[in-house]
């Protein structure tokens, strides 16, 4: 299947049962120029999952209208079958039901089950410039949630970056905003950290780089010049570098698990 998102929506023209549920007409993609279109395909009239979707979208019709979007449903049934279904159980929907009896539109949108001559549950959001901005295709056993479609529609209409679970009214992501510093947990808060190291020591450098990346402030003692630091090492008999002092805990050598535990970051 060719990707549609980000491309011009495939053109179409189909017969419809009008939104009033009584009259027949025709509809084309060009009729929706300048508007958002929720175009959704379903497999067949007089089935089980389909009416739950069709009525769910009907119940949300006012929300879609408030968002400047129109709804168009499509199946491979005839407009006469649509009419019979609305009169015998489905009820009026308030949006048109299109009939793709040639199967061309289903094929163009990549939702046609060729062997059965019916559509998968494909849904497409088409923007006012008639570009496909969103698509989702379900197995025919699973219905779609119009509230999620409304959420995605609102996100697209912001023109910004919307994270997972974003809801209408929330802020979008500003990539230019400075990143918040990583919080320091547990014992690292308010605890003095000192690193006894030597120039050129790769283990010393690795420990200091970790502390910096974790946002931990520390005092560095250069053992090549600091007399008090040298006396500290001699008094304790430390030979492995670095020596990392976290509060009252002294860790000799490159032992990252111990350092992280002492910082409360393990």
Active site members: 50
**Per-residue tokens: 207:** 């420990």
Instruction: Judge contact between 37 and 113, C-beta under 8 A.
Output: no
Beta strands in 84-226 (DSSP E): 97-99, 112-113, 118-119, 121-126, 132-138, 193-197, 219-222
Q: Which helix (H) or strand (E) holds 14?
A: strand 13-17
Q: Is 65 left (phi over 0), alpha (psi -120 to 50) or beta?
A: alpha
The residue to which tokens 């009525």 are assigned? 55
How crowded is residue 141: how many other Cβ atoms within 10 Å of its Cβ?
Answer: 8
Instruction: Write the CB contacts of 19 (distance below 8 Å, at least 6 apart in sequence).
Output: 93, 94, 95, 96
Looking from the CA of 66 toward its CB, the CA atoms found within 13 Å total 8
């Amino acid at each position: 299947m060719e990707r549609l998102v980000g491309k011009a929506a495939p053109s179409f023209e189909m017969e419809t049962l009008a939104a009033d549920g009584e009259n027949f007409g025709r509809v084309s993609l060009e009729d929706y120029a300048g508007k958002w279109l929720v175009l959704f395909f379903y497999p067949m009239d007089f089935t089980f999952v389909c009416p739950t979707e069709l009525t769910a979208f009907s119940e949300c019709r006012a929300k879609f209208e408030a968002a400047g979007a129109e709804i168009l449903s499509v199946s491979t049934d005839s407009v006469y079958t649509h009419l019979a279904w609305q009169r015998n159980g489905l009820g009026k929907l308030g949006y048109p039901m299109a009939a793709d009896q040639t199967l061309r539109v289903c094929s163009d949108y990549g939702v046609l089950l060729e062997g059965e001559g019916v559509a998968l549950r494909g849904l497409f959001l088409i923007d006012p410039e008639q570009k496909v901005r969103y698509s989702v295709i379900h197995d025919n056993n699973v219905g779609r949630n119009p509230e999620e479609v409304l959420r995605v529609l609102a996100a697209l209409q912001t023109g910004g970056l919307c994270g997972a679970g974003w809801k209408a009214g929330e802020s979008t992501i500003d990539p230019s905003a400075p990143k918040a510093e990583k919080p320091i947990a547990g014992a690292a808060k308010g605890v003095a950290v000192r690193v006894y190291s030597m120039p050129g020591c790769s283990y010393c450098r690795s420990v200091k780089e970790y502390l910096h990346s974790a946002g931990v402030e520390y005092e560095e003692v250069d053992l090549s010049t600091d007399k008090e630091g040298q006396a500290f090492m001699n008094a304790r008999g430390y030979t492995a570098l670095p020596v990392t002092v976290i509060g009252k805990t002294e860790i000799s050598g490159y032992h990252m698990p111990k350092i992280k535990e002492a910082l409360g970051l393990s």
